[in-house]
Structure 1
């Protein structure tokens, strides 16, 4: 059964009302042609529920934008959807093309701060988001009374005489849905162990982030990354107004999973639209992502909260190695990662999720 426009429809019942399925939902390929975005291939998804999002195939199959009924769900920087050819790998050059968006992937062999690890200089957050995808497959089909839409493709992080990692990503949703599903498989196609650092940089912005917004999470421990974050620990889970010279704050969370070992977190704005409420929820598996990083930046223009499931912290590969926490993937090894991003469309939905999160902490 399809729930659409406040009604429930069976497949044939719906199809009798339309000329083509693209009238209500589609995944459509297009290309950006202007300035430093030129040549970037994109896929626009419409689910019919009001959820729309854009996937950039030339930028690692990341999600550069999303909205719900015209309400932006993510923060966007001023860089635009910079084409992969403009990638600056050294130091903080990654930021030159960091558009923000709903999802920017960090990894696969480095995530976090620039550093030097075993004589190799590593830039901010690695290469994954700047690698164009190959074998891209965009399609949709009926499965009973469900209509599934997806994009799939592969990126390869490799070099001669070095690592050879391949990631297959499938992003899917369905007609009438408020959810986006991301399924990744990373494989080591090389013949030596490779470092594996992987982080989902989910960037929530205004109007979900605002003064009075709240982070809901089953956190058993919250650890500030530095002294500045420590000074503001009592306010870690609250949105603040855009502030001049606001310095970023980063917190590491230890989370209590549910009975299926899943974690649910959300950023919510209960006062939105005359107290009707709106939020973004993220669901992931704790075994796949044992860490959660919260990035809080309430600066003017740079107004964003990052919800970041990861298998590492964000001080870079050298730090992970030094602490003995650096993950590796063996030759022929495979790692699976699944994340669900959903829209909370009302305070009623927010309250239901909050109760589930509270149950995790009992």
Structure 2
């Protein structure tokens, strides 16, 4: 984070002279939910001092819930809300009954995609980690950033023991969220490892006047429904009754730090998602433009796979982590004013 952070047009040091407490400008709030299906769950809210507000969900793998930038909501929220983990069921497709959306829902750590059964073990849709509470080890405002760290362990007797260490950093005065994850296999056997970062963009950032840019090497449809939409995979239509979801798979392998974006000139708001393609060589685009379910998923993943854990294992496509070793992932969410001059165009290098 080069240079002194800026707070409302002034260097942070100068801004501090004008307040009695930095919390007037930037702070971390910790609360517990009191109503509905979220009752009892923790929520940590970060205010950057630069127009960015971020809700973290410690009881859902320290994922990211509601986000706003200069008053504009960024993330889609599902009808279920952010359900407390005690009400979540890890079986079959029950994930859909507690998937609240939000800017980041982590899927994994040993499976994602459709539910399947592999070697006598049932793997629910999109895995189990998203309903595992985190042990929060740090929540601190420094001279440069707001930092929250935590540990999330997905484990069972006679099975996997995967530890996710997560650090979320919001530079002071910025519109940026940095996510750094390390997954360690703490069992005595190799562990299958699949992870997908389910980032969910909603209205008003997402609308028919916004520009979607995914400069991948190649794009392919997940299934027959997506094949029908290949000609306009990048087009962001208004909500459509009866819309059938489409998923497109984008190859980013060997591309260094990749960037995809949604730019809305009408809202003067742009979201850029950057991710390290060394660990996350693919991105799945979830296009779901129905009434109420009006959402664009931008989903970096460690394996370009969409048919579940069992099929990945059967076809030798399942990544594995050796005992005692780790893999790391890095994502960045950058919110800023719009840069778009031609709404409705796309910029894929396919």
Band of TM-score, shorter chain: over 0.9
Cα offset, 1:135, TM superposition: 4.2
Number of positions where the alignment pairs a residue of Structure 1 with one of Structure 2: 344
Name the structure 2 match of 1:238: 235
Name the structure 2 match of 1:148: 145
Q: How far apart, CA to CA, are the structure 1 residues paired with 2:131 and 2:299? A: 18
1:68 is aligned to 2:60: no
Cα offset, 1:255, TM superposition: 2.5
Name the structure 2 match of 1:288: 279
How far does the alpha carbon of each residue in 1:307-333 deviate from its partner, in whole angstroms, 9 at most, with x for none? 000012232101212232110111001
TM-score (norm 2): 0.94
Q: How far apart, CA to CA, are the structure 2 residues paired with 1:257 and 1:178? A: 28
SS in 1 for 2:217: strand
1:226 is aligned to 2:226: no
How far does the alpha carbon of each residue in 1:264-315 deviate from its partner, in whole angstroms, 9 at most, with x for none? 1112223x14xxx322111111111011100000000000000000012232
Q: How far apart, CA to CA, are the structure 2 residues paired with 1:257 and 1:331? A: 26
Name the structure 2 match of 1:204: 201
- 5+ unaligned residues in a row in structure 2: which ranges? none
How far does the alpha carbon of each residue in 1:76-114 deviate from its partner, in whole angstroms, 9 at most, with x for none? 011112101111111110111100000000000111111
* CA contact 2:58–2:134 (8 Å) conserved in 1: yes
TM-score (norm 1): 0.91
Q: How far apart, CA to CA, are the structure 1 residues paired with 2:38 and 2:292? A: 21
Matches within 5 A, 1:107-186: 107-142=108-143, 147-186=144-183
| Closer/same/farther in 2, CA of residues 162 and 256 from structure 1, 3 Å limit | closer
Between Structure 1 and Structure 2, the one with more helix by share is 1
* CA contact 2:253–2:278 (8 Å) conserved in 1: no
Matches within 5 A, 1:318-337: 318-337=310-329
* CA contact 2:79–2:100 (8 Å) conserved in 1: yes
Q: How far apart, CA to CA, are the structure 2 residues paired with 1:291 and 1:248? A: 19
Matches within 5 A, 1:81-100: 81-100=82-101
Q: For the aligned residues, what is the CA RMSD? A: 1.9
Name the structure 1 match of 2:31: 30
SS in 2 for 1:197: coil
Q: How far apart, CA to CA, are the structure 2 residues paired with 1:154 and 1:104? A: 16
Cα offset, 1:344, TM superposition: 3.0
- 5+ unaligned residues in a row in structure 1: which ranges? none
